[in-house]
Structure 1
Amino acid sequence: MKLKVRNKLSIVFFTLVLALLGVFTSSTVEATETGYALKAVYGTNQVDKNGQIDIFGNPGQTIPVTIAIANQSNADQRFEVNFYTAGTSDNGIYEFKQGIKKDSSMKINAKNYVKPLKQIVTAKANSIQNVSFNITIPTNNFSGYLMGGISVAPYKQKAKTSLTSNGTLIKNKYSQGIPVKIRQDRNNKKDPKFRVLKVVPTANKTLKSRGVLANVQNYVDGYVGNLNVKSTVTRRPDDHKFKVKATANSQDVAPNSNYNLAIDWGKKPLQAGNYHLHMKYTTDDKTKSWIVDKDFSISDADAAKYNKLSGIKPNYMWLWILIAILALLLVLGLGIYFGRRNQNKQQPMNNNMNNQR
C-alpha cells in the first residue's frame, strides 16, 4: 500500500509541475484553483527564460535566484519552500522532493551549494511574495548540469485522503515547483549515458500482470529530456519463439539518477531461465539514440512467486502425469520382478522332478 501511495504522490506532484510550465513562461502570474501559482524571476547569468531557472557562473561565484509566489486568495497564506536535488521517478519523470536517495554515480550534489535549503514565507492576500536563494557554483569542474528544483507547498498542509475502487487508501498533498539547472558555462551541454544495473521480476495483483523491472541509471551529469524508449526481452541462448516488447514515452531522466522501468510480459507467465534485455532510448526528433544491453536470469523460485502474486494459479497437471507414469513403471517393475522370482523358484523343482525320473 505504501508503494502505491508514494507513486500516486509522485504522479500528482509532477503532473502539476509540467502543467504549470505554461504558467511560468507567461509575463504575469496566474493563480490556480489552489489559490497560488509560481513564476521564475529572471536575473543575470540566466541561460534560457523558458519557465525554469537555468543559470551559469564561474567556479566559486554566488548567484542569487528568485521565484515569485502569487497568492490570489482573500486570506494570507504561509508556504514551505524547499530546494531538492533532482531524481527520476519510476514513471520516468524528472522529480524533486524529499526522500530521494543519492545515486551512487553522483559526485557533486546540487543541494550542497544552495542556501537556504528551506524557508517558511507568508504571502499576503491578493499579493505576490518573492523568495530568494543563493546558489554557489562549485569549484570542482563539471561539464554537464547540476539539477534540482524549488518546491512550494502550503505550510503544515493536511493530506487529503481518498479510497480507490480496489480499497487502496491514497493520501495526497499538493505542491508546485520550478526546475533548476546549474552550469559552469552557459555553453555547457552534455548528453546522458545509460546502463542497466539490474533486472528483477515484478507482479501486480490488482492488474493481474507480471514482468520485470529494469533499474536504469544515467551515470553522468548529462541530460536530454523527453526521450522515448523501446525494450525487447529475449531468451538465451537464441530462442526465436520468445520475445517481449515494451515502449515508454516522455522519459525525463535526471543527471546521476536511477529509476525502475517496468516491462510488462502481458499474459505470458514468468519462466525460469536466462534472458537478454535490449533497450533503445531515442530523442523525439530521432537525431540521437542510446543503446543499452543487459543479461539477466529468473530463478524457479522467483518465477513461481511472482506468477502467484499476479494471480496465476500453479498448474500441477504435469506433476500428476509424472506421478502416474512413475506408478505405472513401479507396477510394471514389481510385476516383472515377482514374475522372474516365481520362475526361478519353479525351475529347481522341475529339475528335481526330472532327476527322480
Structure 2
Amino acid sequence: MTYKMPSKKIDGMILGGVYVKKMAGKEAKAKKGVTITNQFAYVIGVRLRESSVDVAPDMKLNEVRAGQINAYNQVEANLQNPRPGLMSQLKVKTKVTEVGKTKVVLQNEKSNMAMVPNSNFNYAIPWGDTQLKAGTYTLTLDATAKGGYHWHFVKNFTVTQKQINSLKNKINTPQQHNYLWWFVAGGILIILLLAIIIYLLLKRKRNDDDDKQESK
C-alpha cells in the first residue's frame, strides 16, 4: 500500500490506521438450523512524520448542546484538537450552571484520555438523575494535558422545550411515580387482614360460648 503525503511539508504527525478485512467469498448455501459465520479484521496503526519537530497540541470548544447517546441524556461539548500534535494524559473537568447563577446542576470529570492530531469528539456530561428544564445554561470546562498544557472555556448554551420533549421517556430520564395504586392495594390488604382477625375472634368467642353452654 502506498500513501501520498501532502505537497507541503508537515511538522508534527499524521496518525491513522490501515483497516484490514478478508474479502467475502461466494455466499454459502442456506442450511437448516442456526449458522454462524465468523469474520476477522484488524487495524495496523500508522504514524507519518517528515520532521522531528513536535508540534504542541491545542484545544477548541465548539458546539455545546443537549443530546443523547445509547438512550442516555447528556450535555455534549465538542472538543477539537486542530493541530498535528498528540494530546496525551488528557484530563477534563466540567460543571454546568444556570446562566447568572452559581449552583451547579451538572458536573463531571474524566482523566487518562488522549486526542490524536486534527480530531474532535463530543465530551459527554451525563444528566444522571437530574432533569434539566428549558433555559440557558453556562458550561465551564477546564482541561489539562501532558506537557503543562491547560485550557479554560466558558460557553453558554440553550436547552429548548422541544429538545426536552424529544429526550423524554428514556432510560435515565426521571419519571413521576404514581403511588396511588400502591396505597389502594395496601388499604385493601389491611381491610382483609382486619376482617380475618375479626372473623377469627368472633369464631373463637362463639366456640367459647358453646363450650360454656355444654358444661352447664
**Alpha-carbon distance change, 147 to 140 in structure 1, aligned in 2, over 3 angstroms:** same
How well do the aligned residues superpose, as a CA RMSD in angstroms? 2.8
Structure 1 vs Structure 2: percent identity of aligned residues? 25
Alignment partner for residue 177 of structure 1, among 43, 53, 60? Answer: 43
| 1:272 partner amino acid | A
Q: Deviations over 1:235-293 (max 9, x none)?
A: 211x1223311122332222222211111121110211111212222236x73322233
Structure 1 CA distance, aligned partners of 2:73 and 2:43? 34
Alignment partner for residue 228 of structure 1, among 85, 91, 97? Answer: 91
TM-score by structure 1 length? 0.41
Tell me the equivalent position of 1:153. Answer: 21
Tell me the equivalent position of 1:6. Answer: none
Tell me the equivalent position of 1:260. Answer: 122
1:245 aligns with 2:107: yes
Alignment partner for residue 279 of structure 1, among 131, 136, 141? Answer: 141
Aligned length: 164
Alignment partner for residue 197 of structure 1, among 54, 57, 62? Answer: 62
Q: CA deviation at 1:178?
A: 2.9
Structure 1 CA distance, aligned partners of 2:159 and 2:22? 46
Contact 1:232 1:277 in 2 (8 A): yes
Structure 1 CA distance, aligned partners of 2:85 and 2:159? 32
Tell me the equivalent position of 1:306. Answer: 167
Structure 2 CA distance, aligned partners of 1:267 and 1:245? 12
Contact 1:196 1:214 in 2 (8 A): yes
Contact 1:150 1:177 in 2 (8 A): yes
**Alpha-carbon distance change, 173 to 271 in structure 1, aligned in 2, over 3 angstroms:** farther
TM-score by structure 2 length? 0.64
Structure 2 CA distance, aligned partners of 1:194 and 1:245? 20
Structure 1 CA distance, aligned partners of 2:130 and 2:10? 45
**Alpha-carbon distance change, 251 to 271 in structure 1, aligned in 2, over 3 angstroms:** same
Mean Cα deviation higher: 266-275 or 188-197:
188-197
Contact 1:269 1:307 in 2 (8 A): no
Contact 2:134 2:160 in 1 (8 A): yes
Query: Structure 2: 5+ residue runs without aligned partners?
Result: 26-37, 178-216
Q: CA deviation at 1:185?
A: 0.8
Task: Give the SS at the match of 1:304.
Answer: helix
Tell me the equivalent position of 2:74. Answer: 211
Q: Deviations over 1:125-173 (max 9, x none)?
A: xxxxxxxxx344433133222221122333339xxxxxxxxxxxxxx96
Query: Structure 1: 5+ residue runs without aligned partners?
Result: 1-115, 117-133, 158-171, 316-357
Task: Give the SS at the match of 2:128.
Answer: coil
Structure 2 CA distance, aligned partners of 1:174 and 1:201? 37
Contact 1:270 1:306 in 2 (8 A): no
Q: CA deviation at 1:308?
A: 3.5
Structure 2 CA distance, aligned partners of 1:277 and 1:294? 5
**Alpha-carbon distance change, 309 to 173 in structure 1, aligned in 2, over 3 angstroms:** farther
Contact 1:270 1:307 in 2 (8 A): no
Structure 2 CA distance, aligned partners of 1:203 and 1:181? 33
Report matched runs for 1:73-222 at 5 Å. 116=1, 134-156=2-24, 174-186=40-52, 188-203=53-68, 209-222=72-85
Structure 2 CA distance, aligned partners of 1:214 and 1:177? 28
Alignment partner for residue 290 of structure 1, among 144, 151, 157? Answer: 151
Structure 2 CA distance, aligned partners of 1:141 and 1:214? 32
Q: CA deviation at 1:220?
A: 1.9
| 2:142 partner amino acid | K
**Alpha-carbon distance change, 290 to 176 in structure 1, aligned in 2, over 3 angstroms:** farther
Structure 2 CA distance, aligned partners of 1:174 and 1:279? 40
Q: CA deviation at 1:194?
A: 1.5
Task: Give the SS at the match of 1:279.
Answer: strand
Structure 2 CA distance, aligned partners of 1:137 and 1:305? 45
